[in-house]
Structure 1
Amino acid sequence: MNNHFMNSKWLYAFLLAPVISAVLALLHFGFVFKSGTAGFGIVILLILYFDRLKQAKDVLLIMAAFLFSIVGDWFLSNMNGDAGMFIFGIVFFFFAHIGYFLFALMNGRMKRIFTFILLAGYLLFFAMKLYPNIDNTTLMWSALIYLVISCLSLGAAVGLRGSPVAKWAYVFGIFLILFSDTIIAYKEFVGYNELNYLILPTYYLAHIAIVFSIIKKRITE
Protein backbone atom coordinates (compact mmCIF):
# COMPACT_ATOMS: atom_id res chain seq x y z
CA MET A 1 0.00 0.00 0.00
CA ASN A 2 1.57 3.30 -1.05
CA ASN A 3 2.53 6.13 1.27
CA HIS A 4 -0.02 8.49 -0.28
CA PHE A 5 -2.85 6.18 0.72
CA MET A 6 -1.36 5.71 4.20
CA ASN A 7 -1.36 9.48 4.64
CA SER A 8 -4.97 9.80 3.51
CA LYS A 9 -7.76 10.83 5.85
CA TRP A 10 -9.91 8.24 4.07
CA LEU A 11 -8.33 5.72 6.42
CA TYR A 12 -10.79 6.87 9.07
CA ALA A 13 -13.56 5.28 6.98
CA PHE A 14 -12.29 1.93 8.28
CA LEU A 15 -13.91 2.85 11.60
CA LEU A 16 -17.35 2.32 10.07
CA ALA A 17 -16.89 -1.45 10.46
CA PRO A 18 -16.41 -1.50 14.27
CA VAL A 19 -19.08 1.18 14.70
CA ILE A 20 -21.64 -0.91 12.80
CA SER A 21 -20.58 -4.01 14.74
CA ALA A 22 -21.04 -2.15 18.03
CA VAL A 23 -24.53 -1.01 17.05
CA LEU A 24 -25.54 -4.55 16.08
CA ALA A 25 -24.07 -5.89 19.33
CA LEU A 26 -26.11 -3.40 21.34
CA LEU A 27 -29.17 -4.60 19.42
CA HIS A 28 -28.40 -8.13 20.70
CA PHE A 29 -27.27 -9.74 17.45
CA GLY A 30 -24.90 -12.09 19.26
CA PHE A 31 -21.31 -12.55 20.40
CA VAL A 32 -19.84 -12.31 16.88
CA PHE A 33 -20.84 -8.65 16.84
CA LYS A 34 -19.91 -8.19 20.50
CA SER A 35 -16.37 -9.13 19.56
CA GLY A 36 -16.54 -7.06 16.40
CA THR A 37 -15.03 -3.81 17.67
CA ALA A 38 -11.90 -5.65 18.80
CA GLY A 39 -11.98 -8.06 15.85
CA PHE A 40 -12.32 -5.34 13.24
CA GLY A 41 -9.69 -3.40 15.16
CA ILE A 42 -7.22 -6.23 14.56
CA VAL A 43 -8.11 -6.35 10.86
CA ILE A 44 -7.74 -2.57 10.47
CA LEU A 45 -4.35 -2.55 12.16
CA LEU A 46 -3.20 -5.45 9.98
CA ILE A 47 -4.19 -3.46 6.89
CA LEU A 48 -2.38 -0.35 8.15
CA TYR A 49 0.84 -2.16 9.04
CA PHE A 50 0.83 -5.27 6.84
CA ASP A 51 4.07 -4.24 5.09
CA ARG A 52 5.93 -3.42 8.32
CA LEU A 53 4.53 -5.69 11.01
CA LYS A 54 7.96 -6.84 12.14
CA GLN A 55 8.95 -3.25 12.83
CA ALA A 56 5.62 -2.29 14.41
CA LYS A 57 6.00 -4.28 17.62
CA ASP A 58 3.99 -1.69 19.54
CA VAL A 59 1.01 -2.12 17.21
CA LEU A 60 1.30 -5.90 17.47
CA LEU A 61 0.80 -5.45 21.22
CA ILE A 62 -2.50 -3.65 20.56
CA MET A 63 -3.60 -6.49 18.24
CA ALA A 64 -2.74 -8.99 20.98
CA ALA A 65 -4.63 -6.86 23.51
CA PHE A 66 -7.72 -6.90 21.29
CA LEU A 67 -7.44 -10.67 20.88
CA PHE A 68 -7.18 -11.18 24.64
CA SER A 69 -10.17 -8.87 25.06
CA ILE A 70 -12.27 -11.04 22.76
CA VAL A 71 -11.40 -14.15 24.77
CA GLY A 72 -12.00 -12.37 28.08
CA ASP A 73 -15.33 -11.07 26.85
CA TRP A 74 -16.36 -14.59 25.88
CA PHE A 75 -15.77 -15.80 29.43
CA LEU A 76 -17.70 -12.91 30.95
CA SER A 77 -20.53 -13.29 28.45
CA ASN A 78 -20.92 -16.97 29.33
CA MET A 79 -20.17 -17.03 33.06
CA ASN A 80 -23.80 -17.24 34.29
CA GLY A 81 -22.74 -16.62 37.87
CA ASP A 82 -19.74 -18.97 37.69
CA ALA A 83 -16.86 -17.38 39.65
CA GLY A 84 -14.32 -19.48 37.74
CA MET A 85 -15.47 -18.10 34.39
CA PHE A 86 -15.33 -14.59 35.85
CA ILE A 87 -11.76 -15.14 37.02
CA PHE A 88 -10.70 -16.44 33.60
CA GLY A 89 -12.29 -13.36 32.05
CA ILE A 90 -10.31 -11.12 34.40
CA VAL A 91 -7.09 -12.98 33.54
CA PHE A 92 -7.50 -12.44 29.80
CA PHE A 93 -8.42 -8.79 30.27
CA PHE A 94 -5.32 -8.49 32.46
CA PHE A 95 -3.20 -9.67 29.52
CA ALA A 96 -5.02 -7.17 27.31
CA HIS A 97 -4.01 -4.38 29.67
CA ILE A 98 -0.40 -5.59 29.55
CA GLY A 99 -0.55 -4.95 25.81
CA TYR A 100 -2.06 -1.47 26.26
CA PHE A 101 0.49 -0.68 28.98
CA LEU A 102 3.54 -1.78 26.97
CA PHE A 103 2.31 0.03 23.85
CA ALA A 104 2.14 3.27 25.82
CA LEU A 105 5.58 2.76 27.36
CA MET A 106 7.08 2.08 23.92
CA ASN A 107 5.69 5.42 22.74
CA GLY A 108 6.16 7.53 25.84
CA ARG A 109 6.72 7.28 29.58
CA MET A 110 4.79 6.68 32.77
CA LYS A 111 3.14 9.71 34.38
CA ARG A 112 4.16 8.81 37.92
CA ILE A 113 2.29 11.41 39.99
CA PHE A 114 -0.94 10.93 38.03
CA THR A 115 -0.59 7.14 38.30
CA PHE A 116 0.10 7.31 42.04
CA ILE A 117 -3.01 9.42 42.68
CA LEU A 118 -5.17 7.25 40.43
CA LEU A 119 -3.92 4.02 41.97
CA ALA A 120 -4.34 5.34 45.51
CA GLY A 121 -7.93 6.29 44.74
CA TYR A 122 -8.74 2.90 43.24
CA LEU A 123 -7.06 0.99 46.06
CA LEU A 124 -9.22 2.95 48.49
CA PHE A 125 -12.25 2.10 46.36
CA PHE A 126 -11.25 -1.56 46.43
CA ALA A 127 -10.73 -1.60 50.20
CA MET A 128 -13.99 0.19 51.01
CA LYS A 129 -16.40 -1.05 48.35
CA LEU A 130 -15.17 -4.30 46.79
CA TYR A 131 -13.12 -6.22 49.35
CA PRO A 132 -15.92 -6.46 51.96
CA ASN A 133 -18.16 -8.09 49.33
CA ILE A 134 -15.72 -10.69 47.92
CA ASP A 135 -15.64 -14.03 49.75
CA ASN A 136 -13.58 -15.88 47.14
CA THR A 137 -9.84 -15.42 47.79
CA THR A 138 -8.78 -16.17 44.20
CA LEU A 139 -11.37 -13.75 42.86
CA MET A 140 -10.28 -11.11 45.37
CA TRP A 141 -6.62 -11.28 44.30
CA SER A 142 -7.59 -11.42 40.62
CA ALA A 143 -9.69 -8.28 40.98
CA LEU A 144 -6.98 -6.47 42.92
CA ILE A 145 -4.19 -7.29 40.46
CA TYR A 146 -6.44 -6.35 37.55
CA LEU A 147 -7.24 -3.04 39.23
CA VAL A 148 -3.52 -2.28 39.54
CA ILE A 149 -2.69 -3.01 35.89
CA SER A 150 -5.72 -0.99 34.75
CA CYS A 151 -4.44 2.06 36.63
CA LEU A 152 -0.92 1.52 35.29
CA SER A 153 -2.30 1.35 31.74
CA LEU A 154 -4.03 4.69 32.10
CA GLY A 155 -0.98 6.23 33.78
CA ALA A 156 1.22 5.12 30.89
CA ALA A 157 -1.35 6.31 28.33
CA VAL A 158 -1.28 9.82 29.78
CA GLY A 159 2.49 9.82 29.20
CA LEU A 160 2.26 9.11 25.45
CA ARG A 161 4.33 11.26 23.12
CA GLY A 162 3.53 12.29 19.58
CA SER A 163 0.38 13.70 18.01
CA PRO A 164 -1.90 15.22 20.69
CA VAL A 165 -4.98 13.90 18.87
CA ALA A 166 -3.58 10.35 18.77
CA LYS A 167 -2.48 10.60 22.41
CA TRP A 168 -5.76 11.81 23.85
CA ALA A 169 -7.82 9.41 21.73
CA TYR A 170 -5.74 6.59 23.21
CA VAL A 171 -6.08 8.00 26.73
CA PHE A 172 -9.84 8.26 26.20
CA GLY A 173 -9.97 4.63 25.06
CA ILE A 174 -8.08 3.32 28.10
CA PHE A 175 -10.14 5.55 30.39
CA LEU A 176 -13.35 4.09 28.93
CA ILE A 177 -12.12 0.55 29.61
CA LEU A 178 -11.40 1.49 33.22
CA PHE A 179 -14.77 3.21 33.49
CA SER A 180 -16.60 0.19 32.06
CA ASP A 181 -14.72 -2.16 34.39
CA THR A 182 -15.59 0.02 37.38
CA ILE A 183 -19.28 -0.31 36.57
CA ILE A 184 -18.85 -4.09 36.21
CA ALA A 185 -17.17 -4.17 39.63
CA TYR A 186 -20.08 -2.28 41.17
CA LYS A 187 -22.50 -4.67 39.48
CA GLU A 188 -20.76 -7.92 40.40
CA PHE A 189 -19.48 -7.11 43.89
CA VAL A 190 -21.76 -4.39 45.24
CA GLY A 191 -24.99 -5.26 43.46
CA TYR A 192 -25.38 -1.75 42.04
CA ASN A 193 -27.11 -2.10 38.66
CA GLU A 194 -28.29 1.40 37.78
CA LEU A 195 -25.34 2.09 35.45
CA ASN A 196 -25.27 -1.29 33.72
CA TYR A 197 -26.52 0.25 30.47
CA LEU A 198 -23.16 2.03 30.12
CA ILE A 199 -20.97 -1.08 30.32
CA LEU A 200 -21.08 -2.20 26.70
CA PRO A 201 -21.30 1.18 24.92
CA THR A 202 -18.21 2.45 26.75
CA TYR A 203 -16.36 -0.85 26.14
CA TYR A 204 -17.05 -0.75 22.40
CA LEU A 205 -16.25 2.96 22.15
CA ALA A 206 -12.93 2.27 23.90
CA HIS A 207 -11.83 -0.05 21.10
CA ILE A 208 -12.96 2.43 18.45
CA ALA A 209 -11.05 5.26 20.16
CA ILE A 210 -7.88 3.17 20.36
CA VAL A 211 -8.10 2.21 16.68
CA PHE A 212 -8.73 5.87 15.80
CA SER A 213 -5.58 6.73 17.74
CA ILE A 214 -3.49 4.18 15.83
CA ILE A 215 -4.87 5.39 12.49
CA LYS A 216 -3.89 8.94 13.43
CA LYS A 217 -0.46 7.68 14.47
CA ARG A 218 -0.03 5.88 11.13
CA ILE A 219 -1.05 8.94 9.12
CA THR A 220 1.44 11.16 10.92
CA GLU A 221 4.37 8.72 10.77
Structure 2
Amino acid sequence: MSNFVMEIKKNSIYLVLLLPFLLAVMALNGFGFFFKSGSAGAGILIVLWLWFRQLKARKDVWMIFVAFAFSIGGDWFMSNRNGDMDMFISGIALFFVAHIGYLGYALLNGKVKWTFTAIVLAGYLVFFTCKLLPSINHGVLMFAALVYLIISCLSMGAAVGIDAKPAEKWSYVFGIFLVLFSDTIIAFSEFAGYTELNFLILPTYYLAHISVTFSLIARKISYNPVIE
Protein backbone atom coordinates (compact mmCIF):
# COMPACT_ATOMS: atom_id res chain seq x y z
CA MET A 1 0.00 0.00 0.00
CA SER A 2 1.45 3.38 -0.99
CA ASN A 3 2.19 6.05 1.60
CA PHE A 4 -0.44 8.28 -0.02
CA VAL A 5 -3.19 5.67 0.35
CA MET A 6 -2.11 4.91 3.92
CA GLU A 7 -2.24 8.62 4.75
CA ILE A 8 -5.78 8.89 3.36
CA LYS A 9 -6.87 5.80 5.28
CA LYS A 10 -5.28 7.10 8.47
CA ASN A 11 -6.88 10.54 8.29
CA SER A 12 -10.30 9.24 7.23
CA ILE A 13 -10.87 8.31 10.87
CA TYR A 14 -11.56 11.99 11.56
CA LEU A 15 -14.83 11.57 9.66
CA VAL A 16 -16.31 10.05 12.83
CA LEU A 17 -16.41 13.62 14.15
CA LEU A 18 -19.38 14.17 11.86
CA LEU A 19 -21.48 12.33 14.45
CA PRO A 20 -20.97 14.77 17.36
CA PHE A 21 -21.13 17.65 14.89
CA LEU A 22 -24.53 16.57 13.55
CA LEU A 23 -25.85 15.95 17.06
CA ALA A 24 -24.70 19.43 18.07
CA VAL A 25 -26.47 20.96 15.08
CA MET A 26 -29.67 19.13 16.08
CA ALA A 27 -29.30 20.42 19.64
CA LEU A 28 -28.83 23.99 18.44
CA ASN A 29 -32.05 23.65 16.44
CA GLY A 30 -34.12 22.94 19.53
CA PHE A 31 -34.12 19.17 19.82
CA GLY A 32 -34.14 17.50 23.24
CA PHE A 33 -31.56 16.66 25.86
CA PHE A 34 -30.40 13.52 24.04
CA PHE A 35 -29.04 15.76 21.30
CA LYS A 36 -27.75 18.35 23.80
CA SER A 37 -25.64 15.62 25.37
CA GLY A 38 -24.65 14.29 21.97
CA SER A 39 -21.29 16.02 21.52
CA ALA A 40 -19.98 14.61 24.80
CA GLY A 41 -21.83 11.29 24.48
CA ALA A 42 -20.55 10.69 20.96
CA GLY A 43 -17.09 11.68 22.16
CA ILE A 44 -17.24 8.93 24.79
CA LEU A 45 -18.25 6.36 22.18
CA ILE A 46 -15.56 7.44 19.72
CA VAL A 47 -12.80 7.42 22.33
CA LEU A 48 -14.01 4.07 23.69
CA TRP A 49 -13.92 2.58 20.20
CA LEU A 50 -10.44 3.90 19.44
CA TRP A 51 -8.81 3.00 22.75
CA PHE A 52 -10.78 -0.08 23.80
CA ARG A 53 -7.89 -2.54 23.58
CA GLN A 54 -5.58 -0.29 25.61
CA LEU A 55 -8.06 0.96 28.22
CA LYS A 56 -6.60 -0.98 31.15
CA ALA A 57 -3.31 0.83 30.71
CA ARG A 58 -4.69 4.24 29.75
CA LYS A 59 -5.53 6.18 32.90
CA ASP A 60 -5.44 9.38 30.86
CA VAL A 61 -8.21 8.18 28.55
CA TRP A 62 -10.37 7.33 31.57
CA MET A 63 -10.01 10.97 32.64
CA ILE A 64 -11.71 12.04 29.41
CA PHE A 65 -14.55 9.60 30.07
CA VAL A 66 -14.97 11.26 33.49
CA ALA A 67 -14.86 14.74 31.95
CA PHE A 68 -17.44 13.99 29.28
CA ALA A 69 -19.76 11.97 31.54
CA PHE A 70 -19.87 14.64 34.25
CA SER A 71 -20.30 17.34 31.60
CA ILE A 72 -23.47 15.54 30.51
CA GLY A 73 -24.63 15.39 34.12
CA GLY A 74 -23.87 19.04 34.72
CA ASP A 75 -25.68 20.01 31.55
CA TRP A 76 -28.74 18.07 32.68
CA PHE A 77 -28.89 20.00 35.95
CA MET A 78 -28.41 23.32 34.18
CA SER A 79 -31.03 22.48 31.56
CA ASN A 80 -33.64 21.49 34.15
CA ARG A 81 -33.01 23.93 36.98
CA ASN A 82 -35.91 26.28 36.21
CA GLY A 83 -34.59 28.89 38.60
CA ASP A 84 -33.72 26.37 41.33
CA MET A 85 -30.49 27.50 43.01
CA ASP A 86 -29.68 24.01 44.32
CA MET A 87 -29.89 22.61 40.79
CA PHE A 88 -27.58 25.39 39.57
CA ILE A 89 -25.02 24.66 42.29
CA SER A 90 -25.26 20.93 41.58
CA GLY A 91 -24.56 21.64 37.93
CA ILE A 92 -21.47 23.65 38.87
CA ALA A 93 -20.31 20.76 41.09
CA LEU A 94 -20.60 18.25 38.26
CA PHE A 95 -18.81 20.55 35.84
CA PHE A 96 -16.11 20.91 38.52
CA VAL A 97 -15.58 17.14 38.42
CA ALA A 98 -15.50 17.34 34.62
CA HIS A 99 -12.63 19.80 34.93
CA ILE A 100 -10.83 17.40 37.25
CA GLY A 101 -11.04 14.92 34.37
CA TYR A 102 -9.63 17.42 31.88
CA LEU A 103 -6.92 18.39 34.37
CA GLY A 104 -6.07 14.76 35.10
CA TYR A 105 -5.69 13.96 31.40
CA ALA A 106 -3.36 16.90 30.90
CA LEU A 107 -1.23 16.09 33.96
CA LEU A 108 -0.84 12.47 32.87
CA ASN A 109 0.56 13.78 29.59
CA GLY A 110 2.54 16.80 30.74
CA LYS A 111 2.64 19.39 33.50
CA VAL A 112 1.05 22.68 34.49
CA LYS A 113 2.55 25.79 32.92
CA TRP A 114 2.57 27.78 36.14
CA THR A 115 3.48 31.21 34.78
CA PHE A 116 0.73 31.03 32.17
CA THR A 117 -1.71 29.67 34.76
CA ALA A 118 -0.88 32.46 37.23
CA ILE A 119 -1.56 35.13 34.60
CA VAL A 120 -4.88 33.59 33.55
CA LEU A 121 -5.93 33.01 37.17
CA ALA A 122 -5.02 36.57 38.17
CA GLY A 123 -7.17 37.93 35.36
CA TYR A 124 -10.11 35.75 36.32
CA LEU A 125 -9.81 36.61 40.01
CA VAL A 126 -10.07 40.29 39.04
CA PHE A 127 -13.09 39.41 36.90
CA PHE A 128 -14.62 37.46 39.79
CA THR A 129 -14.02 40.24 42.32
CA CYS A 130 -15.17 43.13 40.16
CA LYS A 131 -17.96 41.61 38.05
CA LEU A 132 -19.32 38.53 39.78
CA LEU A 133 -18.88 38.93 43.52
CA PRO A 134 -21.05 42.09 43.85
CA SER A 135 -23.97 40.18 42.31
CA ILE A 136 -23.68 36.98 44.37
CA ASN A 137 -25.56 37.04 47.67
CA HIS A 138 -25.54 33.29 48.27
CA GLY A 139 -22.57 31.99 50.27
CA VAL A 140 -22.50 28.47 48.84
CA LEU A 141 -22.87 29.76 45.31
CA MET A 142 -20.03 32.23 45.84
CA PHE A 143 -17.74 29.45 47.08
CA ALA A 144 -18.78 27.11 44.27
CA ALA A 145 -18.17 29.78 41.62
CA LEU A 146 -14.74 30.65 43.04
CA VAL A 147 -13.55 27.04 43.29
CA TYR A 148 -14.86 26.34 39.81
CA LEU A 149 -12.99 29.36 38.47
CA ILE A 150 -9.74 28.11 40.01
CA ILE A 151 -10.05 24.57 38.64
CA SER A 152 -10.94 25.99 35.20
CA CYS A 153 -7.75 28.06 35.11
CA LEU A 154 -5.69 25.08 36.29
CA SER A 155 -7.20 22.97 33.50
CA MET A 156 -6.22 25.63 30.99
CA GLY A 157 -2.67 25.86 32.33
CA ALA A 158 -2.25 22.09 32.33
CA ALA A 159 -3.58 21.83 28.78
CA VAL A 160 -0.93 24.27 27.58
CA GLY A 161 1.66 22.09 29.33
CA ILE A 162 0.80 18.86 27.49
CA ASP A 163 3.79 17.18 25.85
CA ALA A 164 2.42 16.01 22.50
CA LYS A 165 2.53 16.56 18.76
CA PRO A 166 1.07 19.91 17.62
CA ALA A 167 -2.26 18.62 16.24
CA GLU A 168 -2.96 16.65 19.40
CA LYS A 169 -1.80 19.32 21.83
CA TRP A 170 -3.35 22.42 20.33
CA SER A 171 -6.71 20.83 19.58
CA TYR A 172 -6.87 19.87 23.27
CA VAL A 173 -5.82 23.37 24.33
CA PHE A 174 -8.47 24.84 22.03
CA GLY A 175 -11.10 22.53 23.52
CA ILE A 176 -10.31 23.57 27.09
CA PHE A 177 -10.19 27.23 26.02
CA LEU A 178 -13.68 26.86 24.55
CA VAL A 179 -14.97 25.37 27.81
CA LEU A 180 -13.49 28.32 29.69
CA PHE A 181 -14.88 30.78 27.14
CA SER A 182 -18.36 29.27 27.32
CA ASP A 183 -18.28 29.32 31.12
CA THR A 184 -17.19 32.97 31.08
CA ILE A 185 -20.18 33.94 28.97
CA ILE A 186 -22.46 32.01 31.36
CA ALA A 187 -20.94 33.89 34.29
CA PHE A 188 -21.53 37.23 32.57
CA SER A 189 -25.12 36.23 31.87
CA GLU A 190 -25.98 34.72 35.27
CA PHE A 191 -24.21 37.17 37.56
CA ALA A 192 -23.61 40.38 35.62
CA GLY A 193 -26.81 40.41 33.56
CA TYR A 194 -24.89 40.68 30.29
CA THR A 195 -26.76 38.44 27.85
CA GLU A 196 -25.66 39.75 24.46
CA LEU A 197 -23.21 36.88 23.96
CA ASN A 198 -25.51 34.09 25.11
CA PHE A 199 -25.86 32.82 21.55
CA LEU A 200 -22.23 31.64 21.76
CA ILE A 201 -22.61 29.50 24.89
CA LEU A 202 -23.83 26.25 23.35
CA PRO A 203 -21.87 26.34 20.06
CA THR A 204 -18.58 26.81 21.93
CA TYR A 205 -19.53 24.16 24.50
CA TYR A 206 -20.29 21.57 21.83
CA LEU A 207 -17.23 22.51 19.80
CA ALA A 208 -15.10 22.03 22.92
CA HIS A 209 -16.12 18.36 23.11
CA ILE A 210 -15.47 17.89 19.42
CA SER A 211 -12.03 19.50 19.71
CA VAL A 212 -11.04 17.32 22.67
CA THR A 213 -12.25 14.23 20.80
CA PHE A 214 -10.19 15.34 17.80
CA SER A 215 -7.16 15.51 20.08
CA LEU A 216 -7.63 11.93 21.27
CA ILE A 217 -8.05 10.73 17.70
CA ALA A 218 -4.78 12.47 16.83
CA ARG A 219 -3.12 10.83 19.83
CA LYS A 220 -4.35 7.41 18.77
CA ILE A 221 -3.06 7.90 15.24
CA SER A 222 0.33 8.96 16.57
CA TYR A 223 0.55 5.71 18.52
CA ASN A 224 -0.96 3.46 15.87
CA PRO A 225 -1.27 4.88 12.32
CA VAL A 226 -3.51 1.96 11.27
CA ILE A 227 -6.72 2.07 13.31
CA GLU A 228 -7.91 -1.44 14.04
Common fold by TM > 0.5: yes
Alpha-carbon distance in structure 2 between the residues aligned to 1:64 and 1:99: 5
SS at the partner of 2:55?
A: coil
Partner of 1:133: 135
Describe the superposition over 1:15-38 as per-residue Cα deviations: whole angstroms up to 9, x where unpaired: 010000000000011110000000
1:57-206 equivalence runs, <5 A: 57-206=59-208
Alpha-carbon distance in structure 2 between the residues aligned to 1:206 and 1:95: 16
Gaps of 5+ in 2: 1-5, 224-228
Alpha-carbon distance in structure 2 between the residues aligned to 1:113 and 1:37: 32
Give the length in aligned residue pairs: 217
Amino acid in the other structure paired with 2:132 = L
Partner of 2:56: 54
Q: CA RMSD in A?
A: 1.1
Describe the superposition over 1:178-218 as per-residue Cα deviations: whole angstroms up to 9, x where unpaired: 00000000110111110000000000000000000000010
Task: Report the CA distance between 1:101 and its aligned residue.
Answer: 0.3
Alpha-carbon distance in structure 2 between the residues aligned to 1:65 and 1:111: 21
Amino acid in the other structure paired with 2:218 = K
Alpha-carbon distance in structure 2 between the residues aligned to 1:185 and 1:85: 16
Alpha-carbon distance in structure 2 between the residues aligned to 1:175 and 1:9: 25
Which protein shows a greater Rg? Answer: 2
Task: Report the CA distance between 1:13 and its aligned residue.
Answer: 1.1
TM-score of the two chains, using structure 2 as the length reference: 0.93
SS at the partner of 1:81?
A: coil
Point out 4+ residue stretches in structure 1 off by more than 2 angstroms.
Answer: none
SS at the partner of 2:83?
A: coil
1:12 to 11, 14, 23: 14
SS at the partner of 1:149?
A: helix
SS at the partner of 1:80?
A: coil
Gaps of 5+ in 1: none
Alpha-carbon distance in structure 1 between the residues aligned to 2:164 and 2:24: 29
Task: Report the CA distance between 1:9 and its aligned residue.
Answer: 1.3
Describe the superposition over 1:109-145 as per-residue Cα deviations: whole angstroms up to 9, x where unpaired: 1101000000000001000000000000000000000
Alpha-carbon distance in structure 1 between the residues aligned to 2:61 and 2:16: 17
Task: Report the CA distance between 1:56 and its aligned residue.
Answer: 1.1
TM-score of the two chains, using structure 1 as the length reference: 0.96
Partner of 2:3: none
